[in-house]
Structure 1
């Protein structure tokens, strides 16, 4: 399929095609809806400036983060799927769009300048964590928390009724989870969860 043909596909159709081709690697059948984007952004820590998005898909959350006020140069989006990565690059040319595996986030973040004083304040994830093997969950979340500033958090949505990260993985990584909003007006309905290092306790979150 040519670039022009791919660009004329509606976002939902591109995502559905990629899900049909790679059902284990594409978490969602449909792009995230605006209500889910609002619910995830509501969990950003106060004063958030730099954000990493895992699994950018067709850009629904990317668009919402930019509209929220995150500057393009302060947003790093990581997408593994070739077709969706290409669309993200064309749709958001000013945003840092990386083609890669979330398990390699440490190296990707360093290459993109998201390190040290410029590390991410928060990570927003659209990855299908619930269906992943435990070792894959552990590798991704360990890499993610290595790329966060102290006090940072990982905001994850899931379509399942329970927290997406296995309890044993969360304990191994020293993470605690809090439940955010349940978004009925999403296809399918989704729940937002927020992960932090347990030593952070009940650090405050809210809209930036």
Structure 2
């Protein structure tokens, strides 16, 4: 009998059980959430960095939307999820590392040799992170983005995932995107850009 579960669902759930604070959800992102995030990318998007690749639901959607393997850089901190992503997307640069070190990791990988990214999509649990950690991650991300690039983040909470003082200190503006009911749990997309 064929399973209708998404690839990596069990892997993802196991990682959540091990560390629920580090893995922000109990299930991989839905196709609807991935579509809502991709709809927020610039029309001329070619190069994308994904933070917190998880099991690859958003990675798959980015590739299906036309992002080429070599123009996508996926960062994952969890070793088991990183190994899963590496096996599932052997042609995509998948890096094991901390989002605070994104500029160095992207340089070491050679990704930034072709210039900054047009967009960053993030599945990190920013909402639950302390403000200094949010600031470090967003600061690192915007170092890797073109001047008019966007940082697309989803969150499960009722508020914007980045604290207002953090966004202000980095000179960022925020816009609320779609609310996606068909996700476990339901999620809202937010888009950050330089003010």
Answer yes or no: is the 8 Å Cα contact 2:27–2:184 preserved in 1: yes
Q: Write the deviation string for residues 26-47 of structure 1: whole angstroms up to 9, x where unpaired.
A: 1111000000000000000111
SS of residue in 2 equivalent to 1:115:
helix
> What corresponds to 1:122 in structure 2?
119
TM-score (norm 1): 0.89
Structure 2 residue corresponding to 1:44, chosen from 41, 46, 54: 41
Answer yes or no: is the 8 Å Cα contact 1:156–1:192 preserved in 2: yes
For the residues of structure 1 that align with 2:172 and 2:113, how far apart are their CA atoms?
21
Structure 1 residue corresponding to 2:157, chosen from 135, 144, 160: 160
- 5+ residue gaps, structure 2, are 1-5
SS of residue in 1 equivalent to 2:111:
coil
For the residues of structure 2 that align with 1:194 and 1:113, how far apart are their CA atoms?
26
Answer yes or no: is the 8 Å Cα contact 1:125–1:156 preserved in 2: yes
For the residues of structure 2 that align with 1:116 and 1:154, how far apart are their CA atoms?
20
Structure 2 residue corresponding to 1:179, chosen from 173, 176, 180: 176
> What corresponds to 2:97 in structure 1?
100
**Equivalent runs, 1:11-22 vs 2, <5 Å:** 11-22=8-19
- Cα RMSD of the aligned pairs, angstroms, is 1.2
> What corresponds to 1:202 in structure 2?
none
**Equivalent runs, 1:183-202 vs 2, <5 Å:** 183-198=180-195
> What corresponds to 1:87 in structure 2?
84
How far 1:115 moved relative to its partner? 2.3
> What corresponds to 2:73 in structure 1?
76
Q: Number of residues paired by the alignment?
A: 190
For the residues of structure 1 that align with 2:79 and 2:179, how far apart are their CA atoms?
31
For the residues of structure 2 that align with 1:51 and 1:171, how far apart are their CA atoms?
24
Corresponding position: 1:142 with 2:149: no
How far 1:116 moved relative to its partner? 5.9
Q: Write the deviation string for residues 131-181 of structure 1: whole angstroms up to 9, x where unpaired.
A: 001110000000000000110010000001111000110010010100100
SS of residue in 1 equivalent to 2:176:
strand
Moved over 3 A (4+): none
TM-score (norm 2): 0.95
